Amino acid sequence: MPDSVLSVRDLRVGFATRHGTLVAVDGVSFDIAPGEVLGVVGESGAGKSLTGAAVIGLIEAPGRITSGEVWLAGRRIDTLGAEAMRKVRGRRIGMVFQDPLTSLNPLYRIGDQIVETIRAHANVSEDTARERAIALLQEAGIQGARARIDSYPHEFSGGMRQRVVLALALCAEPDLLIADEPTTALDVSIQAQIIALLKRLCRERGTAVMLITHDMGVIAETADRVAVMYAGRIVEIGPVREVLRNPRHPYTKGLMGAIPTIAARTGRLVQIPGAMPRLAAIPTGCAFHPRCSQAFDRCYSERPERMPAGAAEAACWLFAEPTRVHA
Amino acid sequence: MLAFTIRRLFEALVVMLTVALLAFVLFRYVGDPVSQMVGQDTSLEDRTRLRLELGLDDPVYIQFARFVGNAVRFDFGISYQVKQPVTRLIAERMPATIELALAAALFAVALGIPMGVYTGIHRDSWLSKLFLTVSLIGISLPTFLIGILLIYIFAVWLNVLPSFGRGDTIPIGFWRTGLLTASGLKALVLPAITLGLFQMTLVTRLVRSEMLEVLRTDYIKFARARGLPERAINFGHALRNTLVPVITVIGLQLGSIIAFAIITETVFQWPGMGLMFIQAVQHADIPVMAAYLLLVAFLFVLINFIVDLIYVRIDPRIRILRRGA
Amino acid sequence: MSDIANKVRGASPSQPPPSHRGQGTGWSSHIATILDSDLFYSFWRSKLVVAAAILTALLVGAALLAPLIAPHDPYDLKSLDLVNADMPPAWNSRGDRRFLLGTDDQGRDILSTILYGTRSSLLIGIASVLLAVAIGVTLGLWAGYAGGRADSFIMRIADVQLTFPAILTALLIDGVALAIFKSYRMEGGKFWILVISIGLAYWVQYARTVRSVTLVERNKEYVEAARLIGLSPLKIMFQHILPNVLSPVLVIATINLALAIITEATLSFLGVGLPPTEPSLGTMIQVGNKYLFSGSWWMVAFPGLMLALLALAVNLLGDWLRDALNPKLR
């Protein structure tokens, strides 16, 4: 797909342990179009964050990409050397982490951190970079940015710090922003503001977003498309309305059922029994089958690949054309 | 800032008073001061007179107050062993110890920090492993053994450096320095390395573990995600964040260098306070022990205080949030 | 991201896959569990650690068996003969086959003296570590559990003591003990003075560690429950909270053993430790040091080597134990 900003093909991330390699991300493929917001949801440990880290090339040992490809605007980046990849980070792909309290270096003024980042990617003077930083902070909703640019991170509240973090991630004008649970650590009242800000800043710049979260509400509000991950795989991917209104995969259904507002509207509460498997003990066949109320023979032995299911795609044998048994 | 300084000063005062109490108890109750000062054949009247002169019959708190008052005026009495004022003994010995301690600290920091940074960044390189092995050996070898080894190699075998004493010294006011003569500098080399080696390994290991800790933090990850160059990350963001604990420990180590100087001075017959102290311990010379104790405590407290002030310069958070100590 | 890494780590150890383990019963399954544990794995992974463990075992064994395996008895003053004094090792042309590593200035066999000396160094080291653990753990538990005034009093003492390096504390206590007991003839009493000096010099670290763990554990439900069913504070402290602090205490104790051995040797070297008639590695080095310039290197080299090896081996074990029991530092 040449017109995608990001194109991930059959990505696998493994951890070498003494009991062999544990596969944490297992054959993940997806695309993000320019300016598009892709939401990635799933329980913690499903491989969402690792997928994001793999895209930006920041997987920590003993983890590593064992196979697959990552393409950024038509250029393969997972094979780049360290220095070439550094130039991609920040400039082409920005990233925001979960906790704004710990994402900023406590000993540096926020202005210095922004200026440093701008100048790492563009050949501009200190003063130019500083002016840009002030403008950006203002845009990010820091009032009196000119006066506050020389403040230290601890002088800001959590929500303000996340605004600074967003400004930092976007200051070199990347084409893609990976936001890894950007609001989880924040107060509920502030979460909506930060999400709105993220949406606005990215829309204005035409920046595509990979929004990693476990919050379906955030997805519903922000994303264009959504990918649902379970045990290292994408089990369902499609337009966000379609997936939310009409989830196909039994796991997605369960996930929807766990949200009270939606459950109230549909009038039934779906609960998923059990817990996600440990990486060392992922079941054969479909990884979800031990928890699935609709599992049948094939699910125990054969692993489903993604197949069309309505307007979305689901990795579930229920949607395999010839042997459709359930309604 | 002022309130903080005052509180620190107050805490320092409490520590000093505690140590003074300890020194006083030592001085007053370990052995009988009178019979330590006079000969076997002194008459009972003379002894009683001395008791009265020393005020040993006064209430304990008055004696303690007098002890503290004297200590503040640097009056620690007369050494039992050499029958000279303790203050004079210390004044003669102190420059040698301070010069040795500073040279050792400089050696430890100048080598320890770069080695620590290197081993922290390049965890698995063979050079790191070499550094760490050497540092483990450095920690396992007792100071005196290192000294003996160095003496054997450089004084006995190669015969290039002196094995004992301070060399020639030049007086600058009351301070006799060995730093201005060739023989003085030569004499300083082996003791300074002996004394500094252990501290160097400590600094190396500390900087390394702090680097490892900091390199794992979110803000380093975020700095990577922003595409900052490795150099800026390692030496700017990471190293600076390791400095607070590193400076604390170096400051505290400066104190322990002075204490460890006891061993080094014994090995090299370096005419400093440590040698004086160990002779005092061997001969149960309580006034010298008490004075040394107070002096070392004072130096430690002073260093701690300075370290605290440096903290505030490095870490902006401390200006508002004081660590609870 | 890092939580995944933790999960991966958490998933691998100590929970053997059901397929091929766990069928064994009784001892065999216990052994299988031990063999599969992380601790054991990281032990075998590092050849250096295995070497250190073997070395420690050899040294400790040799020292404890000194009376059985030493060719001479250095305590037996009658067997000493100044004719044998200052002899180089046996492989030297002036050496004597009876004295493999040579003799000292009194004509004592160096090898035998080293074995006996290591024995006293080890015994003093172990006894003083036990003393430090006993004091530190008790005070730490008490401070953490009782809180309030007891806590701040104990911790203030710890703070003040921490201002001084342990070697200085040990020297002071040693010096005071010397001053007190100067008038008494204390044969053998020096051993206990050393144990007490070194033990009192090293208790602070245990107390601080134990206290901080206790502060956390104290507020957990199971302690609350134990209190509600009326268990005495002593029982709660020692039966319920104590197990939580064992692994950090073990790590500190191992590293402190090396420190205690070095401290004892240092005190003896400084001339305030064991007297020359009761050989320890430190005293041997002190005596040998005087003869360094006359070329009698063996008097200091062999005890020095023994001390270095002992401290290094114990330190290596301590380092490994710390890394293995504290995954955060890995």
Higher-confidence position of B196 and A62: B196
Alpha-carbon distance C257 to C123, whole Å?
A: 10
Cα torsion through A261, A265, A267, A270, rounded to 10: -50
Q: Which of A21-30, A239-248, B191-200, B312-321 bottoms out in mean pLDDT, i.e. has the lowest? A: B312-321
What is this model's ipTM?
0.85
Alpha-carbon distance A211 to A38, whole Å?
A: 6
Alpha-carbon distance A102 to B76, whole Å?
A: 53
Instruction: Report the percent of chain B where pLDDT is more than 70.
Output: 92
Nearest chain B Cα distance for residue C173, angstroms: 10
Alpha-carbon distance A82 to B233, whole Å?
A: 14
Q: Which of A304, A179, A313 is nearest to A231 (CA)?
A: A304
Residues B270 and B235: beta-carbon distance below 8 Å? no
Determine which helix (DSSP H) or strand (DSSP E) holds B66, and give its type and residue range.
helix B60-72
Helical packing angle, B273-282 and B286-314, nearest 10°? 140
| Contacts B–C by Cβ distance under 8 A | 114
CATH architecture of B86-324: Orthogonal Bundle (1.10)
The shortest CB-CB distance from C7 to any of A18, A52, A279 is to: A279
Cα torsion through B206, B207, B208, B214, rounded to 10: 110
Q: What is the pLDDT of residue A228?
A: 92
Q: What is the pLDDT of residue C40?
A: 66
Nearest chain B Cα distance for residue C226, angstroms: 31
Cβ of B30 under 8 Å from any chain C Cβ? yes
Does position C327 have pLDDT exceeding 50, yes or no? no
Alpha-carbon distance A133 to A171, whole Å?
A: 7
Tell if the CB–CB gap between A58 and B224 is shorter than 8 Å.
yes
Residue A235 phi, psi (nearest 5): -95, -25
Q: Which of B213, A281, A97 is nearest to C8 (CA)?
A: A281
Nearest chain B Cα distance for residue C159, angstroms: 9
Q: What is the pLDDT of residue C22?
A: 38
Alpha-carbon distance A58 to C1, whole Å?
A: 10
Alpha-carbon distance A327 to A302, whole Å?
A: 20
Q: What is the pLDDT of residue A134?
A: 92
Q: Measured between beta carbons, which residues in chain C are less than 8 angstroms from residue B30?
A: 176, 179-180
Tell if the CB–CB gap between B222 and A120 is shorter than 8 Å.
no
Higher-confidence position of A74 and B80: A74
The shortest CB-CB distance from A104 to any of B219, B232, B316 is to: B219
- Closest chain B CA to residue C281: B145
Tell if the CB–CB gap between A90 and B227 is shorter than 8 Å.
yes
Average per-residue pLDDT for chain A: 85
Tell if the CB–CB gap between B226 and A169 is shorter than 8 Å.
yes
Helical packing angle, C110-146 and C189-201, nearest 10°? 40
Q: pLDDT tens across C256-284, in order?
A: 898 899 889 988 888 877 777 778 888 88
Q: Measured between beta carbons, which residues in chain B are less than 8 angstroms from residue C269?
A: 142, 144, 263, 266
- Residue C143 tokens, joined: 């401070």
- Residue C184 tokens, joined: 């008494």
Does position C23 have pLDDT exceeding 80, yes or no? no
pLDDT category at C35 given cuts 50, 70, 90 is low
Alpha-carbon distance C214 to C228, whole Å?
A: 18
Where do we find the tokens 């046996």? C90
> For chain B, which residues make up each domain, given as ranges?
2-72, 86-324
CA angle A164, A170, A171 (to 5 degrees): 85
Give the other-Cβ count within 10 Å of C238's Cβ: 14
Which chains does A contact via 3+ CB–CB distances below 8 A? B, C
Does position C42 have pLDDT exceeding 80, yes or no? no
Q: What is the mean pLDDT of residues C120-128?
A: 91
Q: Measured between beta carbons, which residues in chain C are less than 8 angstroms from residue A276?
A: none
Alpha-carbon distance A78 to A58, whole Å?
A: 11
Residues C303 and C288: beta-carbon distance below 8 Å? yes
CA distances B108 to B102, B200, B269, Å, are 10, 4, 22
Q: What is the pLDDT of residue C328?
A: 45
Does position C179 have pLDDT exceeding 50, yes or no? yes
Higher-confidence position of C290 and B31: C290
| Contacts A–B by Cβ distance under 8 A | 79
Cβ of B290 under 8 Å from any chain C Cβ? no
Q: What is the mean pLDDT of residues A286-315?
A: 85
Tell if the CB–CB gap between B142 and C266 is shorter than 8 Å.
yes
Tell if the CB–CB gap between B225 and A89 is shorter than 8 Å.
yes
Q: Which of C5, C3, C32 is nearest to C16 (CA)?
A: C32
pLDDT category at C20 given cuts 50, 70, 90 is very low
For an interface test with C, the pick among A18, A44, A65 (most C C-beta atoms closer than 10 Å) comes out as: A18
Where do we find the tokens 């200590």? B71
Cβ of A165 under 8 Å from any chain B Cβ? yes
Q: pLDDT tens across B21-74, in order?
A: 888 887 777 766 676 666 667 777 877 887 777 777 778 788 888 888 888 887
Does position A78 have pLDDT exceeding 60, yes or no? yes
Q: Which of C135, C106, C283, C111 is nearest to C197 (CA)?
A: C135
Which chains does C contact via 3+ CB–CB distances below 8 A? A, B
Most confident range, picked from A120-129, C73-82, C189-198: A120-129
pLDDT category at A31 given cuts 50, 70, 90 is very high
DSSP secondary structure, C269-298, as one string: HTTSSS-TTS--HHHHHHHHHHTTTTT-TH
Contacts of B43 (CB under 8 A, 6+ apart): none
Where do we find the tokens 């008097």? C299
**Where in chain A is CATH 3.40.50.300?**
6-92+174-326
Where do we find the tokens 């793999």? A54
Tell if the CB–CB gap between C163 and B26 is shorter than 8 Å.
no
Classify residue A171 by burial, with Cβ atoms within 10 Å: 0-12, 13-18, 19+: buried
Average per-residue pLDDT for chain B: 82
Q: Which of A187, A177, A290, A189 is nearest to A231 (CA)?
A: A290
Q: pLDDT tens across B181-218, in order?
A: 888 888 899 999 999 988 888 888 888 888 888 888 88
CA angle C302, C307, C309 (to 5 degrees): 95
Q: What is the pLDDT of residue C13?
A: 37
Tell if the CB–CB gap between A102 and B217 is shorter than 8 Å.
yes
Where do the H-state alpha helices sit in chain C? 2-11, 26-36, 38-45, 47-64, 66-69, 110-146, 148-162, 166-181, 189-201, 203-218, 221-228, 233-235, 242-269, 281-290, 298-325
Alpha-carbon distance C228 to C238, whole Å?
A: 17
pLDDT category at A176 given cuts 50, 70, 90 is very high
Q: What is the mean pLDDT of residues A112-131?
A: 91
Alpha-carbon distance C215 to A63, whole Å?
A: 36
Nearest chain B Cα distance for residue C183, angstroms: 10
CATH classification number, A6-92+174-326, choose in 3.40.47.10, 3.40.50.300, 3.30.465.10, 3.50.50.60: 3.40.50.300
CA distances A66 to A27, A44, A49, A241, B162, Å, are 10, 21, 16, 34, 61
Q: pLDDT tens across A254-266, in order?
A: 887 766 555 455 5
Global pTM reads: 0.73
Q: What does chain C come to in residues? A: 330
Q: Measured between beta carbons, which residues in chain C are less than 8 angstroms from residue B300?
A: 163-164
